[in-house]
Amino acid sequence: MTMLLQVQRRLTDLLGVSGPETAMSAGAAVPVPHYFADLRAMIAMIFRSWPVAREYASTPCLAVTLDAEYESRAAQAKPLLNTPGKKKTSKPYTAPPTGSLATGAALDIATNLLDAQDPGDARSRLAPLVQRLREVDLALSTWLRRPSWISVSLRQAIMDLPTGRRGPVSFFSVATPG
């Protein structure tokens, strides 16, 4: 509970009237509303790429809680695979948890992942999740990379590296005008 109280306090401080205008997300300062959008995107990435993010849980109890939450979501998605038309199999993974412990556990991991020291650290932390998401759900990856959905720093942490540079390869890329 100590870990969850720390996460709660941190998020409450960001939402306070006298709270900061920016928060660190993926190694860069972003406006607080963008940070909360990044948290929501991270929760979707966490659940859809589970158990890859498990190592970022602050306690074994929180990881076990998300094991059960993931199983529930996978069971909800399974019948959607055989539906005609658009499958919407990502939907169970993108919904916020309804239980308080699962919500706290997901926010714990999301804040841990976004707490990167710099953009390179963010890219390293997120690369395994991005790779797993790439393997299991390209439709969700398209949804998550919308410019209006996540901060610039998170988008840069999960986008492709320019040709000739070494590093993790992602399915996210940012189109440039022109």
- Residue 27 tokens, joined: 């190694």
- Residue found by looking up tokens 């993108």 in the block: 94
Report the Cα 176 to chain-centroid distance in Å: 23
Task: Please state, as a whole number, how many other Cβ atoms lie within 10 Å of the Cβ of residue 98.
Answer: 9
pLDDT of residue 168 exceeding 50, the answer is: no
Task: Please state, as a whole number, how many other Cβ atoms lie within 10 Å of the Cβ of residue 167.
Answer: 12
Give me the amino acid identity at 24: M
What pLDDT was estimated at residue 164?
A: 42
pLDDT of residue 4 exceeding 80, the answer is: yes
Among residues 116, 121, 136, 118, the alpha carbon closest in space to that of 46 is found at 136
What is the DSSP code (8-state) at residue 164? T
- pLDDT tens sequence across 61-111: 999 999 999 999 888 888 877 776 665 777 787 888 889 999 999 999 999
What pLDDT was estimated at residue 142?
A: 65
- pLDDT tens sequence across 33-62: 999 999 998 998 999 899 999 999 999 999
3-state secondary structure of 39: helix
Residue 158: phi, psi to the nearest 5? Answer: -115, 5
